[in-house]
């Protein structure tokens, strides 16, 4: 792979509020982990790594008014992003050409856990309801500095920021962007402090990764962002790289929802993929910044993974988590910055508090060591076995020689992408297309999904602990895989706006009403957003690429974008893309109170859709599927834009159609997100008329409901229309336009939150 340049970085954590303070702490061996000071919790016994600033102090530094709606996650992210943008010389005027990809899991939980009971019973603090979800925090961080070209949010627990790095790199490799700012932010909250405590993996003493006496982790908080840039862009701007992103890998352990496998299969695969992409040998790695949480399970598993890959010659290894605490979703980018500092200044970060070797484990670096480094692996592993590794290299490494084998990025027309299958569970008949002839109609503003019998998909023992969203995801995924004719897929990529909100609600309710003791670990285990994607991988024994996106109404679209990029570039040949959200009665009323759902005649529901895609290198080749399987349709164009103006939208539509060899005349129908929300629907009508003239408009949310991932159901509906060669009359916005015209080309236009737009082109 042609290296991607890192032209800027910013970091804030328990050991410093910028790179200079961070470097001094790493070189001097100064830990930032200590007694709790800022988080209001009953558990004073656990040491943590807190950023040494109050929210008010961060607002003051950033010039934000006290009354502004912010979260601690967002404030820390702003501090780190400010340094990264300044470091790379990116002014506000350049941001409309720059992408932003952030990782978080906690999001605005620090405020939600304070005001949860108010959300339920009063009007107080309802303005913070809209600040809860992960995408809102990302938008707060980005909007403080200006308007970015696009943005999305990854939520894969402790590998979130590392996976943000991977998406940004793939966008640059495929020519979709020249500059992408990537990383993550995560604050401490009572919710996840108590969650980790319920799992009994917090150590009341300073953590000791890879030590025989290790007894758990210390939690931390912080944020870090890297500026990834193509070589051509950096030369054009006249900036010098600080390091190179020369490889990366992601794999799924597919073993357990929280525990790592004994042999470290996922970690081994992720590190191996990073080396393969960089085309370097294991012997060339000079240092590994390990995930190294200090839990008995992780350190044993990671040690085995390193020994499998490196044999008897494991490079110098250390975990830097005793410096900062485990910063969870932000750890991948924070520790990537640590690795860059090590590359730049020629030293090995030490593994604090280590004294006794663990059985059959590795011996970490414990003494300050100066060493010239060329290649550094940085690991970040999350719940559900979501394992990622990024390979960072010194800028002294020679540039690859231009030649016929060099990967120069994929053309947007390098592969034909087929939709092999699509299955849904929603307000309509489950796992069926009966809605096309006999749709179920509702008058209620909120309806839960019609569920099938799950006995065929999960055992009774498993089903007892699974929330409904998990059962639906497993059922639609297994049915979609069966219908595709594939035995497995190369990637499982999921979009979810709120994740397992039922379990989140149960844990938050107990925390708010019963206090911080005797909380159930099952609720916490299933509250993380990537529980869905990882469970599908565990159920289907899939070790491939695994990612989860959680960014408001483009959550599904972001997952589709990831698959689109990797299929186009040849990185994968098949993918299962899912869109899954559930909605409880309580949470529906909370969202309605916050003005986020249920306006006017809008019907809110739940979505579960799983879609299998496969690529062929040339249009005339058959997709990689069973010969008896007929694809539903083709995906021939896709793009996401953030806060686009009308002229930008018109240009994007023209380019999208042109890349597929089409014009607007070739498009038969426009699928919209019209939902019964009058303000939103009026905007749709005006925009679509300007963009598409008198093209017939279709809708689907009146049948399938509104949710953060309902665009996945729109994709499913459009694919079925192309497959059957007909559009049911019930889908037409204007009943007078209903016709028997056979659809050949459908454009999906999703803009339901007023900020993010996705354009998806499907063909028969």
Quick one: 292 and 143 in the same domain?
A: yes
- Burial class (CB within 10 angstroms; exposed 0-12, middle 13-18, buried 19+) of 665: exposed
Gap between the Cα atoms of 636 and 763, Å rounded: 7
Helix (H) or strand (E) holding 635: strand 633-642
pLDDT at 30: 98
pLDDT tens-digit profile of 173-207? 999 999 999 999 999 999 999 999 999 999 999 99
Q: What are phi and psi of 505, to 5 degrees?
A: -65, -45
Among candidate residues 132, 326, 529, 543, the one labeled active-site is 326
**Structure confidence at residue 257 (pLDDT):** 81
Instruction: Single out the residue of 273, 278, 262, 336 nearest to residue 309, CA to CA.
Output: 273
Boundary of a domain, candidates 360, 393, 426: 393
Separation of alpha carbons 165 and 380, rounded Å: 11
Is 158 an active-site residue?
A: yes
- 222 and 282 belong to one structural domain: yes
pLDDT band at 617 (very low <50, low <70, confident <90, very high): very low
In this structure, are 347 and 448 located in the same domain? no
Whether 167 and 245 have beta carbons less than 8 Å apart is answered as: no
Euclidean distance between CA atoms 83 and 10, whole angstroms: 5
Same domain, 455 and 370: no
b/e for 438-456, b at 16 or more Cβ within 10 A?
Answer: ebeeeeebbbbbeebebee
| pLDDT tens for each residue of 32-41 | 999 999 999 9
Q: What is the pLDDT of residue 402?
A: 43
* Number of structural domains in the chain: 2
**Domain-located, residue 452:** yes
**What's the average model confidence in pLDDT over 223-230?**
98
- Strands 222-229 and 179-186, by their bridges, are antiparallel
Task: Assign 435 a pLDDT band (cuts: 50, 70, 90).
Answer: very high
Domain enclosing residue 599, as ranges = 416-763
- Rounded to two decimals, the pTM is 0.96
Token digits of residue 283: 């012997």
State residue 584's pLDDT score: 95
Report the 10 Å Cβ neighbour count for 693.
9
Report pLDDT for 432: 97
Residue 121, pLDDT > 80, answer yes
Q: What is the pLDDT averaged over residues 360-373?
A: 95
**Percent of the chain, pLDDT > 90?**
89
Given a contact cutoff of 8 angstroms between Cβ atoms, the answer to whether 218 and 33 are in contact is yes
- pLDDT score of 2: 79
pLDDT value, residue 282:
97
Residue 414, pLDDT score: 64
Output the furthest CA–CA distance in the chain (Å, rounded).
78
From CA 335, how far away is CA 642, in angstroms rounded? 29
On whether both 223 and 314 belong to a single domain, the answer is yes
Phi, psi of 83 (to 5 degrees): -70, -40
Give the chain's radius of gyration (CA, Å): 24
Q: Is residue 164 part of a domain?
A: yes
Which tens digits make up the pLDDT trace of 155-172?
999 999 999 999 999 999
Q: Where are the alpha helices (DSSP H) in 18-67?
A: 19-28, 55-62
Comparing 413 with 141, the larger pLDDT belongs to: 141
Are 316 and 434 found together in one domain? no
What confidence score (pLDDT) does residue 628 get?
66
At 44 the pLDDT is 94
Tens digit of each residue's pLDDT (9 = 90 or more) over 626-648: 556 789 999 999 999 999 999 99
Tokens in use for 554?
């483009």
Q: What percent of the chain has pLDDT over 70?
A: 96
326 is catalytic: yes
Alpha-helical runs (H) found in 485-530: 501-514, 521-525
pLDDT at 225 exceeding the cut of 50? yes
Helix axes 331-345, 19-28, angle to 10 degrees: 70
Q: What is the pLDDT of residue 754?
A: 74
In this structure, is residue 406 part of a structural domain?
Answer: no
Q: Are residues 477 and 336 in the same domain?
A: no
398 pLDDT band, cuts 50/70/90, is: very low
Query: To which residue do tokens 């070589």 refer?
Result: 231
Q: Does residue 413 surpass a pLDDT of 70?
A: no
pLDDT category at 116 given cuts 50, 70, 90 is very high
Same-domain pairing of 430 and 577: yes
Please, what sign has the CA dihedral across residues 408, 410, 414, 419? positive
Residues 631 and 680 in one domain: yes
**Cβ(244)–Cβ(395) below 8 Å:** yes
Which member of 132, 144, 192, 291 is catalytic?
Answer: 291
Q: Are 604 and 705 in contact (CB under 8 A)?
A: yes
Rounded to whole angstroms, the Cα distance separating 717 from 711 reads 10
Give the pLDDT score at 405.
34
257/373 same-domain check: yes
Q: Would the pLDDT of 683 be above 70?
A: yes
Per-residue pLDDT tens digits for 555-613: 999 999 999 999 998 999 999 999 999 999 999 999 999 999 899 999 999 999 999 99
3-state secondary structure 234-265: HHHHCCCCCEEEEEEEEEECCCCCCCCCCCCH
Long-range contact pairs involving 352-356 (C-beta distance under 8 Å, separation at least 24): 352/29, 352/31, 352/206, 352/322, 352/323, 353/206, 353/207, 353/208, 353/211, 353/322, 354/208, 354/209, 354/210, 354/211, 355/208, 355/211, 355/213, 356/211, 356/212, 356/213
DSSP E strand boundaries for 514-632: 545-549, 574-581, 607-616
Query: Whole-angstrom Cα distance, residue 113 to residue 54?
Result: 18
CA gap 347, 25 in Å, rounded? 13
Mean pLDDT taken over the chain: 93
In a domain, 405, yes or no: no
- Averaged pLDDT, 705-714: 96
134, 137, 158, 252: the active-site residue: 158
Q: Which helix (H) or strand (E) holds 185?
A: strand 179-186
Residue 403 lies in a domain: no
Pure H helices in 485-548: 501-514, 521-525, 531-540
Q: For residue 703, is it within any domain?
A: yes
Q: How many Å apart are CA 639 and CA 656, to the nearest integer? A: 8
Query: Would you say residue 158 lies in a domain?
Result: yes
CA 535, 536, 538, 542 torsion-angle sign: negative
pLDDT on residue 410: 33
Region 483-500 average pLDDT:
96
* pLDDT of 90 over the 80 cut: yes
- Annotation says 617 is catalytic: no
3-state SS assignment for residue 206 = coil
pLDDT at 252 over 60: yes
Least Cα distance to 203 among 362, 48, 320, 331 occurs for 48
Give residue-wise pLDDT tens across range 724-735.
999 999 999 999
pLDDT band at 406 (very low <50, low <70, confident <90, very high): very low
Please give the structure tokens belonging to residue 166.
């991977």
46 and 195 both lie in a single domain: yes
Report CA 11 to chain centroid distance, whole Å. 20
Q: Show the tokens assigned to 758.
A: 């996705």
Domain membership of residue 639 (yes or no) is yes
Q: Using the 8-state DSSP alphabet, how is residue 66 labeled? A: T
Question: Is 123 buried (19+), middle (13-18) or exposed (0-12) by CB count in 10 A?
Answer: exposed
Q: What are 386's two structure tokens?
A: 């979501």
3-state secondary structure of 613: strand
Average of per-residue pLDDT across 387-392: 98
The CATH number of the domain where 724 resides is what?
3.40.47.10
pLDDT, tens digit, for every residue of 653-663? 999 999 999 99
Going by C-alpha positions, the residue among 47, 35, 13 that lies closest to residue 197 is: 47
Residue after which a domain boundary falls, among 393, 424, 455: 393
pLDDT by residue (tens digit) across 520-566?
898 998 899 999 999 999 999 999 999 999 999 999 999 999 999 99
Instruction: Using alpha carbons, list the distances in angstroms from residue 87 to 83, 84, 140, 181, 394.
Output: 6, 5, 21, 12, 18
**Of 184-193, 405-414, 424-433, the least confident:** 405-414
Q: Are residues 376 and 425 in the same domain?
A: no
| Domain-terminating residue out of 361, 393, 425 | 393
């Amino acid at each position: 792979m042609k290296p991607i340049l890192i032209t800027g970085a910013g970091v804030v954590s328990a050991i410093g509020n910028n790179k200079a303070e961070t470097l001094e702490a790493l070189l001097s061996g100064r830990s930032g982990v200590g007694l709790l000071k800022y988080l209001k919790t009953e558990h004073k016994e656990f040491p943590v790594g807190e950023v040494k600033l109050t929210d008010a102090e961060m607002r003051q530094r950033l010039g934000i008014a006290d009354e502004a709606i912010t979260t601690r996650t967002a404030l820390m992210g702003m501090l780190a992003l400010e340094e990264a943008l300044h470091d790379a010389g990116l002014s506000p005027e350049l941001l409309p050409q720059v992408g932003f990809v952030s990782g978080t899991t906690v999001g605005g939980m620090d405020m939600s856990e304070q005001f949860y009971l108010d959300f339920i019973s009063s009007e107080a603090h309802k303005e913070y309801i809209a600040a809860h979800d992960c995408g809102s925090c990302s938008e707060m961080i980005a909007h403080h500095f200006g308007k970015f070209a696009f943005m999305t949010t990854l939520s894969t627990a402790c590998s979130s920021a590392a996976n943000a790095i991977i998406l940004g790199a793939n966008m640059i490799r495929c020519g979709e962007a020249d500059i992408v700012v990537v990383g993550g932010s995560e604050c401490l909250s009572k919710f996840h402090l108590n969650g980790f405590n319920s799992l009994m993996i917090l150590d009341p003493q300073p953590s000791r990764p890879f030590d025989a006496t290790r007894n758990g982790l210390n939690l931390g908080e912080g944020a870090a962002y890297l500026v990834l840039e193509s070589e051509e862009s950096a030369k054009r701007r006249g900036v010098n790289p600080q390091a190179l992103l020369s490889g990366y890998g992601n794999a799924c352990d597919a073993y357990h929802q929280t525990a790592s496998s004994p042999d470290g299969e996922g970690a081994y695969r992720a590190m191996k993929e990073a080396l393969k992409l960089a085309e370097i040998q294991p012997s060339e790695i000079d240092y590994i910044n390990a995930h190294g949480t200090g839990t008995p399970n992780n350190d044993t598993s990671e040690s085995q993974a390193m020994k499998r890959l490196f044999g008897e010659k494991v490079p110098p290894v250390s975990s830097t988590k005793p410096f900062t605490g485990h910063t969870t979703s932000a750890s991948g980018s924070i520790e990537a910055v640590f690795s860059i500092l090590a590359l730049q200044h020629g030293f090995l970060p030490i593994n604090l508090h280590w004294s006794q070797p663990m059985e059959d484990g590795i011996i970490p670096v414990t003494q300050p060591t100066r060493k010239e480094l060329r290649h550094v692996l940085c690991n970040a592993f999350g719940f559900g076995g979501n394992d990622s590794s990024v390979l960072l290299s010194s800028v002294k490494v020679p540039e690859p020689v231009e030649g016929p084998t060099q990967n120069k990025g994929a053309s947007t027309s390098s592969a034909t992408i087929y939709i092999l299958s699509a299955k849904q569970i929603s307000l309509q008949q489950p796992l069926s297309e009966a809605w096309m002839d006999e749709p179920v109609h509702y008058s209620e503003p909120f309806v839960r999904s019609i569920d099938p019998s799950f006995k065929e998909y999960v055992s009774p023992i498993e089903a007892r602990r699974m929330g409904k969203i998990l059962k639906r995801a497993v059922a639609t995924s297994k049915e979609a895989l069966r219908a595709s004719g594939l035995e497995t897929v190369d990637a499982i990529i999921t979009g979810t706006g709120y994740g397992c909100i039922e379990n989140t609600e149960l844990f938050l309710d107990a925390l708010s009403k019963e206090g911080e003791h005797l909380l159930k670990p099952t609720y916490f285990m299933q509250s993380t957003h990537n529980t869905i994607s990882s469970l599908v991988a565990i159920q289907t024994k899939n070790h491939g690429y695994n990612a989860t996106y959680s960014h408001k109404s483009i959550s599904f679209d972001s997952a589709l974008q990831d698959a689109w990029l990797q299929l186009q570039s040849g990185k994968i040949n098949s993918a299962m893309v899912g869109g899954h959200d559930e909605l409880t009665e309580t949470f529906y009323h909370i969202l309605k109170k916050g003005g986020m759902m249920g306006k006017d005649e809008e019907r809110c529901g739940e979505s579960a859709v799983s879609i299998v895609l496969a690529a062929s290198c040339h249009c005339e080749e058959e997709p990689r599927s069973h010969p008896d399987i007929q694809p539903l349709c083709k995906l021939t164009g896709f793009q996401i834009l953030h806060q686009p103006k009308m002229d930008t939208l018109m240009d994007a539509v023209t380019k999208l159609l042109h890349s597929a060899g089409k014009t607007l005349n070739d498009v038969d129908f426009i699928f919209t997100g019209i939902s019964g929300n009058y303000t939103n629907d009026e905007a749709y009508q005006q925009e679509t008329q300007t963009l598409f003239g008198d093209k017939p408009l279709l809708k689907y949310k009146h049948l399938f409901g509104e949710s953060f991932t309902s665009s996945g159901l729109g994709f499913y509906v459009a694919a079925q229309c192309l497959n059957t060669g007909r559009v049911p009359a019930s889908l037409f916005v204007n009943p007078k336009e209903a016709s028997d015209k056979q659809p050949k080309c459908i454009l999906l236009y999703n803009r339901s939150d007023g900020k993010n737009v996705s354009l998806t082109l499907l063909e028969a």
